[in-house]
A = this chain, B = another copy of it.
Amino acid sequence: MTHSISQSRRSLLTAAAAGLGLATSGGISRATVPSCLRGTGDLGVVVERASGSVLVVETSRRTSLGRVEGLGDLSHASVVFSRDERYAYVFGRDGGLTKVDILNLSVERRVIQAGNAIGGAISDDGRIVAVSNYEPGGVRFFDAGTLEPIAEVPAIDRYGARSKTVGLVDLPFGRFAWSLYDGGEIWLADFQRRGNTPMLTRIFDIGRLPYDGVVTSDGRWYVAGLFGEDALVRLDLWSERLHPERVLDGYGKGEAPLPVYKMPHMEGWAAVGDRLLLPAVGRQEVLMVERDTFRSVATIPVHGQPVFVVARPDGRQAWVNFAHPYNDVIEVIDIPSASVVHRLRPGPAVLHMEFTPRGHEVWISVRDANRIDVYETLNFTKVTELAAGKPSGIFFTSRAHRIGL
């Protein structure tokens, strides 16, 4: 169930870079042997989808520290961090769950926990890692230290049919939430009071075919997108009685219904103060709504169909990337005026953006240029580039301290 992995060192990275045809000119990082003691607050990982590896990076001097390989199929991979910010849990599409030691640049543990998986989460106390599975549909829970399984919750709906699970998030106090795609239910698991046996709460009649879900950063509002309806559904988790509420009618298709081939990931929503910015489905627009009511505040025309709408940490701007064929561009929205104030063209296939924790810089994966670009956010100046093999998601350790990621 587990296997070891070679540690990434200078020679490895160089070899890998050469094999991927990466440039080695200015701004290209080098792997270094990890020093005995170093802080982990400025570390991160970059998913290299094509090669099944992650690049470990640090944001203080903007360098790569090394590459960790052998992580399997990393399409749609996501990452969460241990609360001490030493370990990255990498969730692969093939059901692989890998615990990467980002200080030691090694695989600490690895399990293949299902046949087909989508996303994971870690409890606020750092004790439990959860993985959302398509096949077999359900959520599995693992000891974050050992990756030993501690609980499994098959997603069997009220009619007895098994569902894919989607939209798995952590909630405060040892809880998790997810949705049943086929069954149209939202489930909550509570480990706070019951040790390794979660107390389950099931919400019915949420609408048809939830395809993804998010929770606001206070852990209050769980929102699921409904593929089978032209709307979203949400739950107020602070309420004594949990009842699903349909919001944002017309979100799914809009005024001119079109076949929807790809729904935007709901992780790509920006919550800023009492506003929520979300990518419109199938339209070249970003929607700004009131966070507590989902009433529309503004519709912001943008360059293409938005994928991620990421808030700068101070909440003054949101940066937006786009679906093909407009995916070489990023637009910057000024939130107070609800308007686009800047456009960048980093290069082919901009897949993800991650801000440094206090927002002075942003890291951008430019997949088809095999490059990470780092920009100053204030003046949009490129600071440096780092070589990476077909980079997709970028994840910094400060995520360890945030709710609902």
Contacts and interface: CB of A to CB of B under 8 A. Distances in A.
A141 B176 CA distance: 44
Interface in A196-221: 218-220
A126 B361 CA distance: 12
Contact of A359 (B42, B124, B315): B124
A256 interface: no
Nearest to A174: B360
B397 A83 contact: no
A41 B357 contact: no
Contacts of A273: 218, 273-274
B60 A83 contact: yes
Copies, count: 2
Interface string A300-329: 000000000000011110000000000000
Contact of A34 (B37, B84, B313, B358): B37
B220 A39 contact: no
Interface residues of A, number: 53
Contacts of A124: 356, 358-360
Contact of A38 (B60, B84, B192, B378): B84
Interface in A359-385: 359-361, 377-378
A86 interface: yes
A104 B316 contact: no
A40 interface: yes
A251 interface: no
A238 interface: yes
Nearest to A358: B124
Contacts of A94: none
Given A83-B358, A220-B316, A358-B403, 6 more contacts: A39-B84, A42-B83, A172-B358, A218-B273, A218-B314, A220-B315
15 contacts: A38-B86, A39-B86, A39-B87, A41-B82, A41-B83, A41-B401, A60-B126, A83-B356, A83-B357, A124-B358, A172-B360, A218-B315, A219-B314, A357-B402, A398-B401
